[in-house]
């Protein structure tokens, strides 16, 4: 059975770019969790993300950018969202914004919505996007519904037979997904909690965050999103064979 090649981040750039240019996917390290990346303008590559993860196509993806200039070519920024980007990017904050017409993003990325979720990652992810010159669609590198991977080994154990390359950047520094927010008129809504505390966002935005949303506007909003790959017992006083606390 074929398994993914694992390359250190310092050695993986050329191989990763070749796969992305060819419409394939690459598992990459970010500061939050490992991501399963494809060129966000390439429908074949984006479709591979959904195929590999077993992810429903009505669940939108985050598009990752190299810098604010790239983000502004993709989406329309209001003053509050731009201030948040300038404060927290690169970093674990995702902004849901109106799409800029003609931005070239494949509609599979946004699940047909007129908005798009954008983030600027640190480290290898940001360097890869800058080298490619185009945004990357990149949900977490795990089977849909499973816990997100924070090491290259965890990615390979889950998705190894389905992908060609895992870029090893070591354990992620944040360890959870990005926080997702969206400005709705004069109100800022928290769509998904994550790597940046709500209080930090409120301080930078100068307004309180609202919680909850009516529909699926961003990744991580399905009723069942993350689940361990084993049975769970509650109120367990002792550990049985094959279990862990």
Give the burial string for 175-212 (b: 16+ CB within 10 Å, else e). eebbbbbbbeeeebbbbbbbbbebeebeebbeeebeee
Q: What is the pLDDT of residue 245?
A: 56
What angle do helix axes 198-205 and 79-88 make, rounded to 10 degrees?
A: 130
| pLDDT score of 219 more than 70 | no
In this predicted structure, what is the pLDDT of residue 95? 99
75-84 CB burial, b ≥16 within 10 A, e <16: bebeebbeeb
Locate 51 and state its tokens: 């195929």
d(CA 211, CA 111): 22
Task: Write the pLDDT tens digit of every residue in 114-172.
Answer: 999 999 999 999 999 999 999 999 999 999 999 999 999 999 999 999 999 999 999 99
Which strands sit side by side in the sheet containing 187-192, from one edge to the other? Answer: 5-8, 165-168, 26-28, 35-39, 136-137, 62-64, 115-119, 93-98, 179-184, 187-192, 209-211
**Band of the pLDDT at 224, cuts 50, 70, 90?**
very low
Q: Give the contacts of 61 (CB within 8 A, at least 6 positions apart).
A: 40, 46, 49, 108, 109, 110, 111, 117, 137, 138, 139, 219
Q: At what angle do helices 13-21 and 123-132 cross, to 10 degrees?
A: 50
pLDDT digits (tens, 9 = 90+) for 32-61: 999 999 999 999 999 999 999 999 999 999
CATH number (3.40.50.1950, 3.90.870.10, 3.30.420.40, 3.20.20.140) of 5-211 reads 3.90.870.10
Per DSSP bridges, beta strands 35-39 and 93-98 are unpaired
What would the pLDDT profile of 49-107 be if each residue is shown by its tens digit?
999 999 999 999 999 999 999 999 999 999 999 999 999 999 999 999 999 999 999 99
pLDDT, position 100: 99
Q: Please say whether the beta carbons of 78 and 188 come within 8 A.
A: no
pLDDT for residue 212: 72
């Amino acid at each position: 059975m074929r398994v993914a090649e694992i390359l250190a981040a310092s050695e993986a750039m050329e191989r990763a770019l070749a796969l992305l240019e060819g419409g394939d996917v690459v598992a990459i390290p970010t500061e939050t969790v490992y991501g399963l990346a494809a060129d966000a303008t390439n429908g074949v590559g984006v479709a591979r993300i959904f195929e590999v993860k077993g992810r429903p196509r009505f669940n939108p993806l985050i598009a990752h950018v190299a810098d604010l200039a790239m983000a502004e070519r993709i989406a329309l920024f209001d003053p509050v969202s731009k201030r948040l980007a300038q404060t927290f990017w690169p970093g674990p904050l995702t902004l849901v914004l109106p799409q800029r017409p003609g931005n070239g993003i494949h509609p599979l990325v946004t699940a047909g919505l007129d908005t798009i979720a954008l983030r600027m990652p640190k480290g290898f992810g940001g360097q890869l996007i800058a080298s490619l010159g185009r945004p990357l669609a990149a949900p977490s590198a795990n089977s849909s519904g499973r816990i997100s991977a924070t090491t290259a080994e965890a990615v390979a154990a889950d998705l190894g037979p389905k992908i060609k390359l895992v870029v090893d950047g070591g354990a992620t520094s944040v360890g959870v997904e990005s926080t997702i927010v969206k400005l709705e008129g004069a109100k800022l809504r928290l769509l998904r909690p994550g790597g940046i505390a709500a209080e930090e966002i409120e301080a930078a935005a100068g307004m309180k965050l609202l919680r909850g949303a009516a529909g699926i506007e961003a990744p991580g909003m399905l009723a069942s999103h993350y689940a361990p790959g084993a049975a769970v017992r509650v109120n367990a006083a002792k550990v049985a064979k094959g279990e862990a606390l």
